[in-house]
Amino acid sequence: MSEEILEPELPIIDPHHHLWDLRPLVPAFPEPRHDFIEAIAVAAYYTFDELLADTSTGHNIIGTVFMECGAFYDAARDDALKSVGEVEFVNGVAAQGASGLYGDIRPCAGIVGHADLTLGDAVRPVIEALVAAGNGRFRGIRHASAWDADPEVLGPPFHAPEGLYRSDAFLSGFEAYSEYGLTFDAWLLEPQLGDVIELAKRFPDQAIILDHCGTPLNIASYRGKLHENFDRWRRSIHALAECSNVSVKLGGLAMAFCGMPEEGPAKGLGSEHLAALWRPYVETCIESFGPDRAMFESNYPVDRWGASYPVLWNAFKRLAQGHSADEKRALFAGTAARVYGVEHLLEGA
């Protein structure tokens, strides 16, 4: 769907997108296909050219932060260090964008990688290798803990154990990691939000970013239960917002997991329709955390399931219409710049 770009001059830092090539993996996924697997199959190839095309569709995207996704791991390294390959690859993309040959955007100005925190204290050399590979752009890690008793909720690509953030092995690694002054992105599902609340309280000086509004579920055994579970989600968000070390990403709701919309991929819904679907979640998060601890995210290409890149950002701008200019600047760029240490992107913006 084509739409006129709203507020085209508003500076945006997209703090959450991926780069990957999943085409070799797609044929291995079982049939019948899970909704999320179908979404991934549609977006199986997403590297610099695709990112550049999306960020050049009319919104003022001045820079981005890359989020780990298990791509381009280095097969020659030991298992614990394979994820360093992803950061090396993304740092190359960032250097390519920093050349200025592709316009003013600075893609992957911040890089979030992955390290297995269940390694305990042995995670230290992994973190140090990731920092070195980022060449000044590395900002932190994400160790996802998404799990559900219903295996149809997540599908075959996800294998986090139950209660990961509460396990002794993870907490040992998290304690070691917390000494580095880096960020931690948490991805888990709405019924698990108590785990990240406990984690945030246990480590009050560690910067934690909750991905995707806490991932409310409208898939598999949760389909049709968004309204039924909304109050539980809202209570968790309010409790998490009491932890001053936590920020929240406003997005990810177009994922097949969240089912807003239920049908995809890219059924051509307009930004007004999408904004109406997402409003209860986005408004609750902003009211709870405040604009200085909330940031809009594209989660591309995963959220291509529900919206094209320009329509996605139009929907976010509709959701922010009631906020002041300063609050919008925080929601669309300022919070991301501060949390991920990419304030230089705002110079002159």
Q: Please give the pLDDT value at position 266.
A: 67
User: CATH no. for residue 312?
Assistant: 3.20.20.140
The encoded tokens of residue 24 equal 């070799």
Q: Please give the pLDDT value at position 267.
A: 76
pLDDT over 50 at 32, yes or no: no
Domain region containing 211: 11-344
pLDDT over 60 at 33, yes or no: no
Pairing mode, strands 20-21 and 45-46: antiparallel
Q: Give, in order, the Cα–Cα distances in Å from 213 to each of 44, 100, 148, 157, 201.
A: 24, 33, 17, 21, 19
Tally of CB atoms within 10 A around 232: 13
- The rounded mean pLDDT for the chain is 94
**Pick from 248, 293, 251: which is nearest to 275 by CA?**
251
Q: Which residues of 245-276 are buried (b: 16+ CB within 10 A; e: fewer)?
A: ebbbbbbbbbbbbbbbbbebbbeebebebbbe
Q: Is residue 33 part of a domain?
A: yes
**Pick from 303, 349, 262: which is nearest to 59 by CA?**
349
pLDDT over 60 at 307, yes or no: yes
Question: What pLDDT digit, counting tens, does each position of 104-115 carry?
Answer: 999 999 999 999
pLDDT over 60 at 31, yes or no: no
Tally of CB atoms within 10 A around 99: 7
Q: Is residue 84 part of a domain?
A: yes
The encoded tokens of residue 301 equal 């290409």
- The structural domain count of the chain equals 1
Q: Is residue 1 part of a domain?
A: no
The model's pTM is 0.96
Average the pLDDT over each of 40-44, 112-116, 216-220 and give the range with the smallest value.
40-44
**Rounded average pLDDT over 156-160:** 77
Please give, one letter per residue, the 3-state secondary structure of 215-278.
CCCCCHHHCCCHHHHHHHHHHHHHHHHCCCCEEEEECCCCCCCCCCCCCCCCCCCCHHHHHHHH
| Strand stretches in 3-126, DSSP E | 11-17, 20-21, 45-46, 60-67, 106-113
pLDDT band at 348 (very low <50, low <70, confident <90, very high): confident
Q: Please give the pLDDT value at position 265.
A: 67
Q: Is residue 6 part of a domain?
A: no
**Rounded average pLDDT over 268-286:** 96
Q: Is residue 201 part of a domain?
A: yes
Q: Is residue 200 part of a domain?
A: yes
Pick the more confident residue, 247 or 41. 247
pLDDT band at 30 (very low <50, low <70, confident <90, very high): low
The encoded tokens of residue 125 equal 């050399």
Q: Is residue 224 part of a domain?
A: yes
Q: Is residue 202 part of a domain?
A: yes
pLDDT band at 29 (very low <50, low <70, confident <90, very high): low
